[in-house]
Amino acid sequence: MSLQQEIAKRKTFAIISHPDAGKTTLTEKFLLFGGAIQTAGAVKSNKIKKHATSDFMEIERQRGISVATSVMSFEYKDMLVNLLDTPGHKDFAEDTYRTLTAVDSVVLVIDCVKGVEEQTERLMEVCRMRNTPVIIFINKMDRDGKNPFDLLEELEKKLNIKTQPLSWPINMGRDFKGVYNIHHKSLLKFQANQKATDEDLVSLPDLNTHDIVELVGEKDAATLREEMELIMGVYDSFDKEEYRKGNLSPVFFGSAVNNFGVKDLLDTFIEIAPSPIPRMTDTREVLPDEKKFSGFVFKIHANIDPRHRDRVAFLRVCSGTFERNTFYLHTRLEKNVRFSNPYTFMARDKNIVEDAYPGDVVGLFDTGNFKIGDTLTEGETMFYTGIPSFSPEIFKELVNNDPMKTKQLEKGIRQLTDEGVAQLFTQHGGNRKIIGCVGELQFEVIQYRLLQEYGAACSFRTLPYYKACWIQGDEQKVQDFIRFKQSNIVQDKEEHLVYLAESEWYLNTERRNNPEIKFFITSDFKHEL
């Protein structure tokens, strides 16, 4: 098979949502359709032994939530689908932000009862920064939720996107009768307490025939005709190119837990979602069908298997063919590296691969050479861009509870922050270590993993900071600023200067008083305040 054919058969996407919207359940159903698993795990119940396939860390199993991005590959309709299941919990948002840099499209799951929630808005902001194509799945239609028209309006207003329904529900909650697929003009009937197989599709090119009445009854048939007339009057025919540019989001309705409407979503995704797309580096745009291999590391995970002290770097292949046992240039370290056991993932199960193509995610055994954002090439010196760190929201000083384990603590916190679990700042000119996170739960995860995996006991002392801003500007002005604000100046892991502001008022005051200095909210110095 040629490189172009390999690229054309691949789709790489992430599933994102607010916690408990049904994201991990939807992931399980996709894997069932792809034949990757035989039974779906119970994500919420701690008592059930069959945990969700994509939740492989011990802390995830205990709490019943996803705290790290999982990578899974499966085949469906002659396509190879690379699916990245992300944490929904806002405390682990940074892991999700970075994952979005490695995908070509996104499926956003919305709970029909709660509608658009705060975390959903923030995730969509990151998608908009990159114009990532988004398909929306409105879940839990077997519960009484918001009116579908109201949900569409809420999506457009709160997420600042243009939507277009490609399927439409017939009632919801107890009266839920099924979903009409506008895109393929077919109806899937819902039966309570029965797992829908999605084999029961009835073709309905014309809603004015008597067939619809026999399926859903006179009243609901009349309502569906009326609503379809309204939808056809408001929306033009679906424009695939507008979706691929990130300007239009198709909307589907269903119930993931009942496996209802999921096949509709997956079939349309396979049909319309983009194959691997070109990506920018600091020197040029790289096309996926270029002969020479290149790729970047978007995630690092230590101790996936606690029995072996392993550390895996997740590499997104961007161009050419990645081959096992071949030397590639690590552009940051300026040295050649090769990998004898590269993996593809089915959550915890690892399969050694001989080669991988653009869109694929490969796990590389790492002895500490990799940081997030590192680029591998066949010799060209370049760096993939757009994998920034975002300003944390909570800052705490790391306190060593056992001086005998100082080395283990140093090694552990360095590896965990290399993974991107949190950000590590060191006081400028000092040794005090400050951890920055998006949410409180991350500190619990760090404390737990430092003790379990490195034998290092620590605690955290809360610090009164509001935001981290990366600073750049006239050298003399920056030096003066550092001298006056010494206690607020830290360095990140790349030794970039960062100003920790105590409040919005302090930050605005410093910006007014120092017009020659630029304050950035991301570490790539692209998003200025």
User: pLDDT (tens digit, 0 to 9) for every residue of the chain, 529 residues total?
Assistant: 788 989 999 999 998 888 788 888 888 888 887 765 544 443 333 333 334 444 444 544 444 433 344 678 888 888 988 888 776 555 555 677 778 888 999 999 999 999 988 878 878 887 887 889 999 999 998 889 899 999 999 999 999 889 999 999 888 888 888 888 887 888 877 766 555 455 567 777 777 777 788 778 888 888 888 988 898 888 888 899 999 999 999 999 998 888 888 888 999 999 999 999 999 998 999 999 999 999 999 888 765 555 545 678 889 999 999 999 999 999 999 999 999 888 776 544 567 888 899 999 888 888 778 888 899 999 899 998 877 677 888 999 999 999 999 999 998 898 888 777 788 999 987 889 999 987 787 888 889 889 988 899 999 999 999 999 999 998 999 999 999 998 999 999 888 999 999 999 999 999 999 999 999 887 877 667 7
- Angle of helix 23-33 versus helix 262-272 axis, rounded to 10: 70
Hey, what amino acid is at 178? G
Per residue in 215-239, is it b (16+ CB within 10 Å) or e — as a string? Answer: bbeeebbeebeebeeebeeebeebe
What is the amino acid identity at position 144? D
Dihedral sign for Cα 87, 89, 92, 93, please: positive
User: Does one domain contain both 8 and 129?
Assistant: yes
Dihedral of alpha carbons 488, 489, 492, 497, sign: positive
| Cβ atoms of residues 12 and 276 within 8 Å | yes
CB burial class (10 A; 0-12, 13-18, 19+) of residue 166?
A: buried
Distance (Å, whole) CA 89 – CA 100: 15
CA distance 107 to 31: 15
In a domain, 491, yes or no: yes
| Strand, helix or coil for residue 322 | strand
The answer as to whether 389 is a domain residue is no
Let me know if residue 55 belongs to a domain: yes
Cα angle: 385, vertex 390, 391; to 5 degrees: 150
What CATH number is given to the structural domain containing 330? 3.40.50.300
Inside any domain, residue 190: no
How far apart (Å, rounded) are the C-alpha atoms in residues 510 and 364? Answer: 43
Tell me whether residue 123 is in a domain: yes
Residues in the chain: 529
CA distance 203 to 220: 17
Question: CA-CA distance, 204 to 186, in Å (whole number)?
Answer: 5
How far is it, in rounded angstroms, from Cα 492 to Cα 425? 5
Tally the domains of the chain: 3
For residue 416, the domain's CATH number is: 3.30.70.3280
- The verdict on 20 and 120 lying in the same domain is yes
Same domain flag for 321 and 346:
yes
**Residue 198 domain flag:** no
Q: Are 334 and 351 in contact (CB under 8 A)?
A: no
What is the C-alpha to C-alpha distance for residues 450 and 439, in angstroms, rounded to an integer?
18
Distance between CA atoms of 299 and 423, rounded to whole angstroms?
14
Question: Both ends of the chain: CA-CA distance in Å?
Answer: 48
Query: What are the DSSP calls for 62-103, one per residue?
Result: HHTS--S-EEEEEEETTEEEEEEE---SGGGHHHHHHHTTS-
> Are 327 and 355 contained in the same domain?
yes
Same domain, 403 and 496: yes
Order across the sheet with 489-491: list the strands: 458-462, 394-400, 433-437, 423-427, 489-491, 497-501, 467-473, 517-520
* Same-domain check for residues 432 and 316: no
SS3 208: coil
pTM: 0.80
d(CA 427, CA 66): 32
Q: Which of 224, 256, 272 is the last residue before a domain boundary?
A: 272
Contact (CB, 8 A) for 504 and 441: no
29 and 95 co-located in one domain: yes
What is the helix (H) or strand (E) element at residue 329, kind and residue range?
Answer: strand 328-330
Which residue type occupies 169? Answer: P
116, 119, 124, 127 alpha-carbon torsion, rounded to 10° = -150
301's enclosing H/E stretch is strand 294-302
- 349, 377, 405: which is the final residue of a domain? 377
Pick from 351, 377, 403: which residue ends a domain? Answer: 377
CA 465 to CA 437: how far, in whole Å? 12
Tell me, yes or no, whether 90 lies in a domain: yes
344 and 476 co-located in one domain: no
The DSSP code for 389 is P
Residues 361 and 401 in one domain: no
525 falls within a domain:
no
Do 308 and 398 share a domain, yes or no? no
Domain span at residue 400? 394-520
Q: Please tell me whether residues 138 and 76 are part of one structural domain.
A: yes
Q: Are residues 372 and 436 in the same domain?
A: no
Q: Six-digit token pair at 85?
A: 């299941």
